[in-house]
């Protein structure tokens, strides 16, 4: 009977030890879960505060992140505008070089046209003067005739 009681006591001690270990294991798991939850919550809150501070300092980028459809439309419009400007540069350079090469000829042509206009203007003015002189002579002639009739 002594052996049975000892066996019973040792079995009872083993069960108690098992239960104690089980309880300690559950407590350790619960505390580790609590610690994990605490760490993840703190990490999440620190990331959120970091994000919120960054968005507060960079509100335009925050707006684009918050409104992706508008961002896509604006980015496409910006890309097309830049592409158009890049394509326009060579044609502007060609026009610039053509203007540079044509400018002496355009200047010479304008000088010739001004000289021709001056010659034409001088001829026109001399013709007007001749006509005015003819009108003056006719007027003098008419005045003489009227003065003769009145006598």
Contact 55, 62 (CB under 8 A): yes
Please give the mean pLDDT across all residues of the chain.
83
Instruction: Kindly report the pTM of this predicted structure.
Output: 0.38
- Is residue 24, in this structure, part of any structural domain at all? yes
- Domain around 35: 1-57
Residue 119 reports pLDDT greater than 70: no
- Is residue 36, in this structure, part of any structural domain at all? yes
Contact 70, 64 (CB under 8 A): yes
Distance CA 66, CA 68 (A): 6
- Is residue 133, in this structure, part of any structural domain at all? no
- Is residue 48, in this structure, part of any structural domain at all? yes
Number of domains in the chain: 1
- Is residue 129, in this structure, part of any structural domain at all? no
Q: Residue 1's pLDDT band (boundaries 50, 70, 90)?
A: very low
Residue 143 backbone phi and psi in degrees, to 5: -65, -40
- Is residue 127, in this structure, part of any structural domain at all? no
């Amino acid at each position: 009977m002594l052996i049975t009681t000892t066996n019973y006591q040792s079995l009872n001690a083993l069960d108690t030890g098992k239960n104690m270990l089980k309880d300690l294991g559950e407590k350790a798991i619960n505390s580790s879960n609590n610690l994990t939850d605490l760490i993840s919550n703190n990490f999440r809150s620190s990331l959120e505060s970091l994000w919120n501070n960054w968005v507060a300092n960079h509100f335009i980028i925050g707006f684009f992140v918050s409104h992706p459809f508008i961002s896509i439309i604006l980015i496409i419009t910006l890309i097309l505008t830049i592409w158009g400007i890049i394509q326009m540069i060579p044609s502007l350079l060609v026009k610039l070089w053509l203007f540079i090469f044509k400018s002496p000829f355009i200047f010479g042509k304008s000088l010739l046209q001004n000289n021709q206009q001056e010659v034409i203007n001088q001829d026109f003015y001399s013709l007007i003067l001749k006509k005015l002189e003819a009108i003056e002579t006719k007027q003098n002639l008419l005045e003489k005739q009227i003065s003769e009739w009145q006598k």
